[in-house]
Amino acid sequence: MSVLGILRVTLTKDLRMEWRSKDAINSMLFFALLVVVIFSFSFDLTAEESRQIAGGLIWVALLFAAVVALNQTWARELRNQVLDAYRVSPAPAESLFMAKTIGNFLFVAVLELLMTPLFIVFYNLRSVGPVYQLVLASLLGNWALVVNGTFFGAMSIRTRSREVLLPLILFPISIPALLAMVGATTSTLTGEGSAHLPLVFLAVYDVVFTLVGLFLFETVLQAE
């Protein structure tokens, strides 16, 4: 009954359930699509202006859309009190936390893959800087969103207004990471400034919040 073994079966179970219900992906995709289209029709931008603001638009759209998935992931565990079956078992809390975080990371990564072509078309984007920086910013930024979101999602599941509470807690704590994601993306798209510092900041942010989450998750899970 290793931490990794239970992480693997929990992740597999979550992916199987998402594959069957498509609850998280569908609602995230629909939401992100709406944001992209509405912003695209709201502003009449030149290619240069698009590159300047696209970083912000992409990450705000992903942040809002990710909240939908983060709420879904814990709502599933609350239905039929299934989470109690996990709490009663001797399975380690860290496995559940990491499985949920990786699951959410994959859902948001799928969303990023689906949304990228749309962003390119609607905002007439092309990367001036190296593309690998965009990939790095996506991976690190995605993890920053979901690691906190998974943790605070677990904290808010037993509250009555959890769907409102999660963004209220998550958005302020994500602001430093969001600034770094936007900074890295914008400097890669425009070729102005360096993406190095924001990427390093994101990497440190990810490590710190992952460790904090792992350390505190058992307390959150066992809270009444």
Partner 1 sequence: MISSPDNPAVVLNEVSKLYGRFAALRMVSGEFAAGRLYLILGENGAGKSTLLRVLAGLIEPSHGKLTILGSSDRKAVKPQLGYMAHASMLYDELSGRENLAYFAELYGIRDRAICDQAIRTVGLDPALERRVGQYSQGMRQRLSLARAILNDPRILLLDEPFSNVDVGSAKEMTRLLGTMRDSGKTIFLVTHQPALLEGVADESVCMSSGRVIERVAHHLSSLETPEAKR
The tokens of 156 are what?
């808010």
Residues 19-38 that bind partner 1 (CB under 8 A): 20-21
Q: Which listed range, 46-54, 72-80, 144-152, 199-207, lies at the site for partner 1 (CB under 8 A)?
A: 72-80
Q: Binder to partner 1 among 37, 82, 113, 204 (CB under 8 A)?
A: 82
Give least dist CB 75 to partner 1, A. 12
Q: Is 196 in the site for partner 1 (CB under 8 A)?
A: no
Give least dist CB 181 to partner 1, A. 32
The tokens of 64 are what?
């809002």
- Nearest CB to partner 1, comparing residues 12 and 194: 12
- Nearest CB to partner 1, comparing residues 41 and 79: 79
Q: Is 160 in the site for partner 1 (CB under 8 A)?
A: no
Q: Which listed range, 4-12, 104-112, 149-157, 205-213, lies at the site for partner 1 (CB under 8 A)?
A: 4-12
Burial of residue 159 (CB within 10 Å: 0-12, 13-18, 19+) is: exposed
Q: Around 72, how many Cα atoms within 13 Å sit in the side-chain half-sphere?
A: 22
> Are 77 and 157 within 8 A, CB to CB?
yes
Q: How many residues bind partner 1 (CB under 8 A)?
A: 25
**Residue numbers at the binding site for partner 1 (CB under 8 A):** 1, 5-6, 9-10, 13, 16-17, 20-21, 76, 79-82, 84-91, 222, 224
